[in-house]
Amino acid sequence: MKIVLVGDLIIESGWCIEELKNIAKTYNSEYEAIDWETENVEGLRVKNLKIEKQGPAAVEPPNKLWDLVKTAEILIVHFCPVSAKLIDAAPRLRVIGTLRTGLSNIDVNYAAKKKIPVINLPGRLAEAVSDFTIGLIFSLVRGIVQSNDALRQGRWTKNFESNENFIELSGKTVGLIGLGGIGKKVAHKLANFDVKVVSYDPFVPQETMESLGITKMELPDLLSSSDIVSIHTSLTDSSKGLIGSAQLSLMKPRSYLINTARAEVIDKNALYDALKKGAIAGAALDVFWEEPIVVNDPFLKLENVVVTPHISGTLKEALLKSFSRLNKRLEPYYERLSTKGADGMS
């Protein structure tokens, strides 16, 4: 059995070497570990955006990978693209593993056609993103960021434009749009804050929500009843532009909106207008319609907005756990391939 792993600037192959050695020893296998090299993280981000928009064939993988996959039975990647062409170059390939939740960098349809399973990590950063979400809630509703900025600018002040909208969390309603791995973690972590948690997610049954102590609602009802709305849905055709002018108009004037998911779920102009006019109390944004955000972006001039540079899931501790978690999901393939060989996997 031969394993090929491709890391990058976010999850470096070197982080995985010790575990690869253990796998090789346990299953009497071979391995190769390389990196999909880019000059910097910004270069990697640009490549990833191109892949998301145009598919995995839009960007070339490392040149060395073409030779390595010729004998690979297991291919493990993070952001490295796996196109139909690369799959065809790997005649012995029996499984593809990705250290991500998303599958945009892998031609999953072609892999399915070739009967090659693709194993991913749903909710791999759920702990990190849910922690960050809780942090944004408190930063936003108590003016922590504004106070920090004021002191650093030499201003000892307790008066801000948004002072009258600062709130205690106890007794409030938090609405979660999307109740996947991250949304559930946020709900769980809010359980001891004496809040009511409601959620809009058409794919999660009411019985499931009730078992978690969450009230299922339709989107308009959630928006009109929540003091804090936090977005945790993936970006799909149905979720793009989900929150526009009509939806924002349903929210309470003293309510807050948090987005650690995808910027395109919200209509940018509609949100800016709502914040500028005070139609809602404030927003915390970790994702933007153009990244990196430009210095003259109007959102940066709003005092009632907390902004962070898409870092809710960028936590080394969480990323380091990705390979261990994926290995657990790949164990059945390790066992079958090591005992039967590549031809034993149909």
Catalytic residues: 262, 291, 310
**Which DSSP letter does residue 82 get?**
B
| Rounded Cα–Cα distance for residues 103 and 100 (Å) | 7
Secondary structure class of 98 (helix, strand, coil): strand
Q: Which of 145, 124, 167, 110 is nearest to 321 (CA)?
A: 124
CA dihedral sign, ordered 65, 70, 76, 79: positive
**46: buried, middle or exposed (CB in 10 Å: 19+, 13-18, 0-12)?**
middle
**Which DSSP letter does residue 40 get?**
S
Q: Which of 316, 255, 265 is nearest to 286 (CA)?
A: 265
Tokens standing for residue 273? 């207008």
The angle at the Cα of 13, spanning 12 to 17, to the nearest 5 degrees, equals 130
CB 255 within 8 A of CB 229: yes
Secondary structure class of 125 (helix, strand, coil): coil
Query: What spatial distance separates the first Cα and last Cα of the chain, rounded to whole Å?
Result: 15
**208: buried, middle or exposed (CB in 10 Å: 19+, 13-18, 0-12)?**
middle
Tokens standing for residue 203? 């794919």
- How many Å separate Cα 228 from the centre of its chain? 20
**Which DSSP letter does residue 294 get?**
P
Whether the upstream peptide bond of residue 292 has omega within 30° of 0, thus cis, is yes
Q: What are phi and psi of 177, to 5 degrees?
A: -95, 105
| Rounded Cα–Cα distance for residues 53 and 232 (Å) | 21
